[in-house]
Amino acid sequence: MIEQLQKINRVTTTPVISRIDIIYSSEDTPKKKVFSRQRRALLSLLLGAGFFLLIAMLANIEVESKHPEWVDPPYGLRLNLLKKAVAQNSDKPLLVFIGTSRTGYGIDSKNFDQLPGVLGFNFGRSGAVLAEQLFTLKRLLKDGVEPKYVLLEILPANLGDQRTTEELIPPSRVRWKDLALVEEDHCNRSKYELHWFGEHCNILSNVRFSLLNSQLPWAVPESSVEAYRQHMPRDRFGSSPLERRYVTTQMIDRMKESTFSFYREHLKELQIQSRPIETICEILRICQERGIQSGIYLMPEARTFRGWYREDWNEEMPLRLSEICREFRIPLFDKRFSCEDADFVDGHHLWDETASEFTGSFLKDDILPWVQGLPNGQTAGRDLN
In a domain, 201, yes or no: no
How many other CB atoms are found less than 10 A from the CB of residue 3? 7
Helix (H) or strand (E) holding 120: strand 119-124
Is 184 inside a domain boundary? no
Residues of the chain with pLDDT under 70: 1-35, 49, 51-67, 69, 183-188, 200-231, 374-385
Residue 186 domain flag: no
pLDDT of the residue at 303: 94
| pLDDT for 168 | 82
- pLDDT tens readout for residues 155-207: 999 999 988 777 788 887 888 788 878 755 556 677 777 777 777 666 555 55
CA distances from 289 to 94, 130, 323 (A): 17, 19, 20
Does 300 map to a domain? yes
What's residue 379's pLDDT?
40
Q: Which domain holds residue 91?
A: 74-170+219-382
Domain membership flag for residue 131: yes
Indicate the DSSP class of residue 350.
B
- Calculate what percentage of the chain has a pLDDT beyond 70: 72
Q: Report the domain count for the chain.
A: 1
| Contacts made by residues 308-313, CB under 8 angstroms, sequence distance 24+ | 308/263, 308/264, 308/267, 308/268, 309/156, 309/267, 309/268, 309/270, 310/267, 310/268, 310/269, 310/270, 313/156, 313/267, 313/270
Please indicate, yes or no, if residue 69 is contained in any of the structural domains.
no
CATH of the domain at 301: 3.40.50.1110
Identify whether 54 is part of a domain.
Answer: no
pLDDT for the residue numbered 341: 94
- pLDDT attached to residue 378: 41
How many whole angstroms separate alpha carbon 313 and alpha carbon 306? 9
Q: 199 in a domain, yes or no?
A: no
Q: What secondary structure does DSSP assign to 257-306, as a single string? A: HHHHHHHHHHHHT----HHHHHHHHHHHHHHHHTT-EEEEEE----HHHH
Report the pLDDT value the prediction gives residue 376, as an integer from 0 to 100. 47
pLDDT score, position 45? 79
Residue 3, classed as helix, strand or coil, is helix
Q: What is the structure's pLDDT at 206? A: 58
Question: How many CB atoms are closer than 10 A to CB 50?
Answer: 10
DSSP letter string, 230-266: HTS--STTS-----TTT--HHHHHHHHHHHHHHHHHH
Helix (H) or strand (E) holding 53: helix 2-66
